[in-house]
Chain A
Amino acid sequence: MNKHDLLDAVGDIDSKFVKEADKDPVKRSKIVAFQKYYLAAAGLLLLIVAGVIIRNGMVPVVPESEIEEMDSVMTMGAVIEETEEAAVAYTESIEDMEFNSALISFIEKSGFEDENFMISPTSFRAALALAVAGADNQTKDELLKAMGFSSMDEVITWYEGVSASSADLQNSIWKNTKSRGKLSRKYEKYVKKNFGATAKNVSANQITDKVNSWINKSTNGLIPQISSDLSYADLVLVNTLYLRTAWLNEFEDYLTEEGEFKTISGDVVKKEFMSQTTRFRYYEDENGKFVVMPMDGGINAVFILGDVEDVAGKMANASYEQVAIKIPKFETETTFSDNQLIEFCMERGAVQAFNEDADFSLMSKEMSLYISDIIQKTKIKVDETGIEAAAATAVMMTEGCIMIEPQEKEFIADEPFKYMIMTDDENPELLFYGQLVE
């Protein structure tokens, strides 16, 4: 038998199969009707997911054979059937994932490719939401588009969804009193109502300490300081995202032992590896594999080895398997403060918000504000008990003209791996995304 015989033999299959495949699929009216809901849910989920992208640089060295599929619980058919209805939701989710993937790829290109990093698209979008709420005309349209939204209503629906998850989102607005202009009352009310953001007036000598201390508190001490000097800014819009969640199946301390981790550059370093063998949702194809580890509060942590594309979409195809997992304990911290986030917005067509032509008139009629800087700091800790992760994003706004100078800049992981932390939904929200490469 050769491949030609096989193709010929397919031609002679039972005519009922041919007929069946010829039929137009039954439109899933239920799903179509709920499309709006799915879109909203996807938006929310995405924010959470986008919230933090973690990029570490470690790869544990463990023999591949230790990851075994010992028992397959679900048949492929059952999985497919189970996920059929979710297909539309996934499609929507994938569309929304576009913002996340674009951001991840931009950050990688900005010099982080071979470094450990974690970014939070969710926190980034939430901080931008505070800015776009005060923008008008072209500035607003460009920003919305860059954020992956088509209207302010969509932003709010997205935010409502994200804030309903077990991740804690907080927003605040800090106005430097060195600037005489005032914020519009309407804007203050709007951001308070929709994003729970309170606006405060602070003096130039106090603004740095006040903002840092608010962030420190909102992130449970994970991010004690976002910047050592914020006094130059006339207005600071801040978002924080904090998540503390435990493994549903905890790693036993006594099973943690030292192992070797092969970094992206090929060096071998010692790491503490946590282990457990439990039934988890597991997926593999020719490009790689991933395991889905459930966590408290409807969160999933997904660890990815290799280059599995469209993990969110493939979650549907993951089946329950007995998996021997070894994951290194790790802690990683990242700061994006070299204009990467502004350049990302510009690459996506939002230009006006970052120069003196910006129209933030809904925010304040008295000040001509534009965005002069966006900083994000993130931190994650992964250990036997669970995951603690936080992100803080500050959008700095200034009056008048400031030049922006772009700067250049067994599951056993025995090679660089990626991981995702997602909500456990039909349409999962990617809360965190990370990678260990060195």
Chain B
Amino acid sequence: MDDSQIVELYLTRDESAIAQTSEKYGSKLRRIAQNVLSDLETSEECENDAYLQTWNLIPPNEPRTYLFAFVGRIVRHLAIDRLRHEGRQKRYALYCELTDEMQECIPGNSDVSQEIDAKELSQLINTFLESCSDEQRNIFVRRYWYFDSVAEICEKYSLPQSKVKTTLFRMREKLKDHLTDGGYIV
């Protein structure tokens, strides 16, 4: 069943929408959660919560052409939320790794907080990603959106670790410059 048909089921409040979503994207969604949570049970809980939220969000949203990204974003947020609130040591280490990498992209003195518009920030990241090559963009998205490990990225794209690490490192530097240019100097 294609995405648009599944979205149609949500819009008509047909509960099979959830089963269809799960059948089509369940394993991928679970993997996103599991990449940060490293625990199947909690990841499944996140996945189920994500279906519930999707049910509540469609309508008014109609992600006919991007259902996976839509539900994936929800599952991603839910997984991060879990981590932040749970703070279990082992899991937290993974989260720290990701946020430490993000820290490198923040211009200026990060101790000083700055109120920013989240939407505008995402927009800036979008323009940054537009400016990158396909390969760079995919590596970045796999790492920071899908939370893939460097090893997983290497396997997916048949690249040596050193290349993936260097690409990520250079992209973080580039993103930092991009954010600085976009006015995010703290």
Considering only residues 172-186 of chain B, those with a C-beta below 8 Å from chain A are 174, 184, 186
Question: Do the beta carbons of B144 and A10 come within 8 Å of each other?
Answer: yes
Question: Do the beta carbons of A18 and B141 come within 8 Å of each other?
Answer: yes
> Which of B72, B110, B141, B146 has the most chain A CB within a 10 Å cutoff?
B141
Residues of chain A lying within 8 A (CB to CB) of residue B121 = 1, 5-6, 9
Question: Do the beta carbons of B141 and A21 come within 8 Å of each other?
Answer: yes
Question: Do the beta carbons of A12 and B157 come within 8 Å of each other?
Answer: no
Considering only residues 69-97 of chain A, those with a C-beta below 8 Å from chain B are 76-78, 80-81, 83-84, 87-88, 90-91, 94
Question: Do the beta carbons of A25 and B156 come within 8 Å of each other?
Answer: yes
Residues of chain B lying within 8 A (CB to CB) of residue A3 = 99-100, 102-103, 106, 110
Indicate which residue in A14, A22, A91, A285 contacts B166 across the interface (CB closer than 8 Å): A285
Whether A403 is near chain B, meaning CB under 8 Å from some CB there, is no
Residues of chain B lying within 8 A (CB to CB) of residue A7 = 80, 98-99, 102, 144
Nearest CB of chain A from residue B94's CB, rounded to whole Å: 12
Whether B46 is near chain A, meaning CB under 8 Å from some CB there, is no
Q: Helix, strand, loop or mixed for chain A's interface?
A: helix
Interface segment, B11-19, B50-58, B131-139? B131-139
Nearest CB of chain B from residue A273's CB, rounded to whole Å: 30
Closest residue on chain A to residue B132 by CB atoms? A77
Question: Do the beta carbons of A17 and B167 come within 8 Å of each other?
Answer: no
CB contact under 8 A between A11 and B102, given known A1-B121, A21-B137, A87-B158: no
Indicate which residue in B73, B134, B159 contacts A87 across the interface (CB closer than 8 Å): B159
Whether B76 is near chain A, meaning CB under 8 Å from some CB there, is yes
Residues of chain A lying within 8 A (CB to CB) of residue B170 = 76, 317
Whether A109 is near chain B, meaning CB under 8 Å from some CB there, is no
Residues of chain B lying within 8 A (CB to CB) of residue A405 = none
Q: With the chains together, A90 CA to B84 CA distance in Å?
A: 39
Interface size on B, residues (CB 8 A): 59
Question: Do the beta carbons of A19 and B69 come within 8 Å of each other?
Answer: yes
Interchain Cβ contacts within 8 Å, total number: 150
Number of contact residues on A: which range applies?
35 or more
Indicate which residue in B70, B76, B163 contacts A90 across the interface (CB closer than 8 Å): B163
Binary contact readout A406-425 vs B (1 if CB under 8 angstroms, 0 otherwise)? 00000000000000000000
Residues of chain B lying within 8 A (CB to CB) of residue A316 = 163
Whether B68 is near chain A, meaning CB under 8 Å from some CB there, is yes
Q: With the chains together, A4 CA to B118 CA distance in Å?
A: 11
> Which of A6, A14, A16 has the most chain B CB within a 10 Å cutoff?
A6
Whether B9 is near chain A, meaning CB under 8 Å from some CB there, is no
Closest residue on chain B to residue A25 by CB atoms? B157
Whether B28 is near chain A, meaning CB under 8 Å from some CB there, is yes
Question: Do the beta carbons of B163 and A10 come within 8 Å of each other?
Answer: no
Nearest CB of chain B from residue A312's CB, rounded to whole Å: 9
Residues of chain B lying within 8 A (CB to CB) of residue A84 = 135
Residues of chain B lying within 8 A (CB to CB) of residue A28 = 158
Residues of chain B lying within 8 A (CB to CB) of residue A94 = 160, 162
Whether A153 is near chain B, meaning CB under 8 Å from some CB there, is no
CB contact under 8 A between A9 and B141, given known A285-B169, A317-B163: no
Q: With the chains together, A366 CA to B100 CA distance in Å?
A: 67
Considering only residues 123-171 of chain B, those with a C-beta below 8 Å from chain A are 125-126, 129, 131-138, 141-142, 144-146, 156-160, 162-163, 166-167, 169-171
Residues of chain B lying within 8 A (CB to CB) of residue A88 = 158
CB contact under 8 A between A21 and B166, given known A7-B80, A13-B122: no
- Residues of B whose CB lies within 8 Å of any CB of A are 28, 63, 65-66, 68-70, 72-73, 76-77, 80, 84, 98-100, 102-103, 105-106, 110, 113-114, 116, 118-119, 121-122, 125-126, 129, 131-138, 141-142, 144-146, 156-160, 162-163, 166-167, 169-171, 174, 184, 186
Q: A13-B141, A19-B69, A94-B162 are in contact. List 16 more A-B contacts (CB 8 A).
A: A1-B106, A1-B184, A6-B102, A7-B144, A8-B80, A9-B118, A15-B66, A16-B66, A19-B68, A20-B137, A22-B28, A25-B158, A91-B160, A94-B160, A285-B169, A314-B163
Q: Would you mind naming 12 contact pairs between A and B with Cβ atoms under 8 Å apart?
A: A2-B110, A9-B125, A11-B77, A11-B80, A15-B63, A15-B69, A18-B69, A20-B138, A21-B145, A80-B167, A83-B163, A87-B159
